Amino acid sequence: MLRRLHSLPGLLAALFLLILATSGAVLSLSPALERVAATVPARGDVSVADVAARVLQTYPGAEQIERLPSGAVLVYFSVDGNPGADLVDPLTGARLDAYEPPPFFTWMKDLHRAFLLDDPGRAAAGTGAVLMVLMCFSGAFLLASRAGGWRKLLAPIRGTGSQRLHTELARAAVVGLLISALSGAWMSAIRFEWLAEAEELEAEFPAEVAGTPPAPIGTLQALQAVDLRDLHQLIMPFPDDPLDVYSLRTHQGSGFVDQATGQWLSYSDYGSAATLQTFIMELHTGEAWWWLGLILGLAALTVPVLAVTGVMIWWQRRRSMPRLSGNAAASSADTLLLVGSETNATWGFAKTLHDGLTAAGCQVHVAPLNQWSGRYPKAQRLLVLTSTYGDGDAPASASQFQHRLASAPGSNPLPWAVLGFGDRQFDNFCAFADQVAAALEARQWPRILATDYVDRQSGQAFERWCSALGSAIAMPLDLHYTPMRHATRPLLLAEREDYGSAVKAPTSILRFKTAPPHRSLPSFVAGDLVRILPPGSDIPRFYSLASASKDGVLEICVKRQEHGVCSTFLCAMAIGDCADGFIQKNPRFQPARGKGPVILIGAGTGIGPLAGFIRANKSRRPMHLFWGGRLAQSDFLYEHPLQEWLADQRLSGLHTAFSRCPQPAYVQDKLREDSAQVLALLASHGQILVCGGRRMAGDVALALDEMLAPQNLSVAMLKKAGRYIEDTY
Amino acid sequence: MNRLMATTGLLLGLGLSSLAQAREVTITTELNAYRGDGAYLAIYLTDASGKYARTLWMAGGKSKYYKHLLDWARGSGGKRSEYDGMTGASVTSGASLTITVDIDDTLIDAGYLVRVDSAVEDQRENRVDAEVPLTTQGAGTPVAGRGYVKALSYSL
């Protein structure tokens, strides 16, 4: 709901807001530019009488003196019946320049407030401002709910490229954008008389004047008492008209001054309502505070980027969820089908189940687990399909679920069933599904049927569970699951390097290009995954990427597994052969941004993404690689590039261990050996990225825990702080 | 169109009461080409000494800006009753405004003047931008203005 509240107005208004914000950013330069050219004496230095006297020496026929909010002083005069306006120096009265509102800014202003279309345009601009306010609020709430509370609003942001850029920029700019949008909306509401405008209280027009000969302007007390900084406008009396008066407007009020006595004939404050109104207006234009104008302008500049990334995020999300026809609303659904998925594979199963249940007469609401709200008035059952990320963590679309379940308003006890998706090769098979089940159990909600698991996307296992579910809820569910076809693209093997045959661990570095050759690679960075569909299989296998798309090749590191369908296929490929694959973003496994040191730990083919991180280390932040292989002569992957990267300082330290050499050692031994350095790197805000097999990762964690214990630290604590990230297989 | 309707309203409103001695006067205010938004104009009558007598027309949709037409505001006190039913849109750069009003016969050739005050957003305000004596003889002879007004003329 919150997300809709953010994305709908966003999509509607993206183009409008783009124009509004860009023109606003340009306009924000105007006060600063005016200020640069102006002489601005300190308060107390120059009175209105001083300025007027000086100006009259240069311009005997001056009709009107104005101080612009930027501080520039302006005089209107006529020469031989031709009107003129000049900027003057308030200290000398000398002419600085002819004054003309710059036509470029005038045009920009018209674009900004009315899209050059007068009243209909003004209405559109006002609507844009209101939408912007809505975007700011819904965005802030969205961010807070995703971060897990308002207090965590400033925590580091994780996510893919556009998501992260969008969130970080918006977080930095939201206050400025809110000021601009709220004040703009308010001005528009006044313009269209939806809000009553506070009228400035005006001084009475004087009924009588002294009528005696005028005194020199510099001697007039009322004008001497007003500081130049408070001046808005001084209109001179007509020469030779003893009955005429000075008309003076300041920031606080307006009135009339007698030209003979120099006293106020009448004066009135504008009133606090009108003063507040002017304040808001000047807040919007930045006229009175040029620096604030620039800050607001800078904030506005983020809007074009936010608009583009926002639309991209929306599109990605839209594409990633299968289109469900007849997805029931949360408020009217009798069956909730919530999905936890990292790679979207689980959605395909959810769609099949949704269609089956709907055909059987249920009102099914399908949503990511993260959208749990607790408000399901008609729900009779809760079905959860979820995968697990890494070592028992929640997948992306379920990361908030447990928090939300605990904090959302209590729903009625719902009978539930959980189906886990995973791969039995991994230790913590379907661990997150078990966590969800445990959380539901802890609430003592009735269980419909025992938690079951689907190994490696097995359609049969899924169909079996569905029919068990069907009989448990007395509804025939005879479903047939067809795997989602992924939009793969052919990858052509361009280069291969082979290692490890002497130690019976045949390993290859494979470099692919696109086929046909001149198409560009999909966008990816080292650490992302490529999913390869081996011929004759519907189940993709994933490999960590060792290169970024801008390197021009897609590079992976593969060890041939005994009975491994995909690794055998890949390792047997000849140059020029093709494999089908698609990219899976893996934003979790990335070095955190910044300059802090990075400790890379891996063994065997786990070096792939780590080598990719080093290759991409253009900023030369400290990077240390701990890597374990078997025999330096046989399977030292990336040996030459690593030496080059050491030489050009992309890599600061290389620590290798080999298990089949005369002094066998594993990577964790190397860590223990260099523990002083590891601890020093961690102490200077270093982070650790581990890639490789699960056993190695376990051994590494064990060794690090031993090393960290004296410092009252642990791997678990580093993990929680986002400074210890594993990508294991 | 607006102007036409407003003028008709004006004729009905003002004309009927003093039909006997009233004279129909057409006043044309032509503006210079300047850069900026539409100009606000106050067209009014003063006596020979320059004292405000009566409002003839206010051009400009927002009455809150009328105070910038300073001499008119001073003379009329800026009171709504002075210009009720006598307002229209602001006049854009280079355009001209023609109004038809009924003026008492007694005011013609009696030293009265037709005067225009003008103002444009963020720009100069002109008190007495243009002024022309209301005489039988002077009809049809345009007078130049000092500000936004290029020429002011009337026909009886």
pLDDT, tens digit, 9 for 90 and up, residues A290-305: 899 999 999 999 999 9
Q: Which of A255, A244, A64, A30 is nearest to B124 (CA)?
A: A64
Which of A77, A108, A111, A247 is most worth mutating to test chain B (most B CB atoms within 10 A of its CB)? A247
Q: How far is CA A226 from CA A41, A42, A48, A252, A282, in A?
A: 14, 13, 6, 11, 21
Mean pLDDT to the nearest integer, A426-447: 89
pLDDT, tens digit, 9 for 90 and up, residues A493-514: 999 999 988 888 899 999 999 8
- pLDDT computed for residue A321 by the predictor: 65
Grade residue A486 by pLDDT with cuts at 50, 70 and 90: low
Question: Total structural domains in chain B?
Answer: 1
N- to C-terminal Cα separation, chain A: 37
* Structural contact between residues A728 and A700, judged by C-beta atoms closer than 8 angstroms: no
Grade residue B120 by pLDDT with cuts at 50, 70 and 90: very high
Q: Which of A308, A364, A358 is nearest to A333 (CA)?
A: A364
Query: Scanning the structure block, which residue is given the tokens 């020199």?
Result: A216
Mean pLDDT to the nearest integer, A718-729: 85
**The two structure tokens encoding residue B153:** 């003329």
pLDDT, tens digit, 9 for 90 and up, residues B125-151: 999 999 999 999 989 999 999 899 999
CB contact under 8 A, B70 and A235: yes
The interface predicted TM-score of the complex, written ipTM, equals 0.79
Q: Which of A663, A24, A695 is nearest to A304 (CA)?
A: A24
CB contact under 8 A, A85 and B124: yes
- pLDDT computed for residue B15 by the predictor: 45
- pLDDT computed for residue B18 by the predictor: 44
Q: Do you find a cis peptide bond into A516, omega within 30 degrees of 0?
A: yes
Tell me: pLDDT of A699 over 80: yes
DSSP letter at A203 equals P
Q: Residue A66 and residue A305: Cα distance in Å, rounded?
A: 39
Q: Residue B43 and residue A531: Cα distance in Å, rounded?
A: 79
Query: Scanning the structure block, which residue is given the tokens 């390792």?
Result: A571
Q: Residue A144 and residue A444: Cα distance in Å, rounded?
A: 30
In the stretch 34-63 of chain A, residues with CB closer than 8 A to chain B read 63
* Structural contact between residues A385 and A350, judged by C-beta atoms closer than 8 angstroms: yes
Enumerate residues 6+ apart whose C-beta is below 8 A from A253: A201, A203, A267, A268, A269, A270
Query: Scanning the structure block, which residue is given the tokens 């928090």?
Result: A403
Mean predicted lDDT score pLDDT of chain A:
88
- pLDDT computed for residue A1 by the predictor: 58
Q: If interface means Cβ-Cβ distance under 8 Å, which residues of chain B face chain A?
A: 35-36, 50, 64, 67, 70, 73-74, 77-78, 122-128, 144, 146-147
Grade residue B12 by pLDDT with cuts at 50, 70 and 90: very low
DSSP states of B86-98: -EE--B-TT-EEE
Q: Which residues, listed in sequence order, are joined to residue A393 by a DSSP beta bridge?
A: A389
> Which domain range does residue B35 map to?
2-155
Shortest CB distance from B77 goes to which of A76, A199, A205?
A: A205
pLDDT, tens digit, 9 for 90 and up, residues A599-645: 999 999 999 999 999 999 999 999 999 999 999 888 899 999 999 99
N- to C-terminal Cα separation, chain B: 23
Tell me: pLDDT of A545 over 90: yes
Tell me: pLDDT of A169 over 60: yes
Residues of chain A with C-beta less than 8 angstroms from the C-beta of B146? 78, 81, 83
The shortest C-alpha distance from A266 to chain B (Å) reads: 12
Mean pLDDT to the nearest integer, A449-463: 88
* Structural contact between residues A383 and A353, judged by C-beta atoms closer than 8 angstroms: yes
- pLDDT computed for residue A619 by the predictor: 92
Q: Residue B43 and residue B31: Cα distance in Å, rounded?
A: 13
The shortest C-alpha distance from B74 to chain A (Å) reads: 6
The CATH code of the domain that includes B133 is: 2.60.40
Tell me: pLDDT of B11 over 50: no
Q: Residue A159 and residue A585: Cα distance in Å, rounded?
A: 10
Query: Scanning the structure block, which residue is given the tokens 């294991």?
Result: A728
Q: Which residues, listed in sequence order, are joined to residue A247 by a DSSP beta bridge?
A: A235, A256
* Structural contact between residues B48 and B111, judged by C-beta atoms closer than 8 angstroms: yes
Tell me: pLDDT of A402 over 80: yes
Alpha helix positions (H), A412-538: 431-442, 459-472
Query: Scanning the structure block, which residue is given the tokens 């002419």?
Result: A95
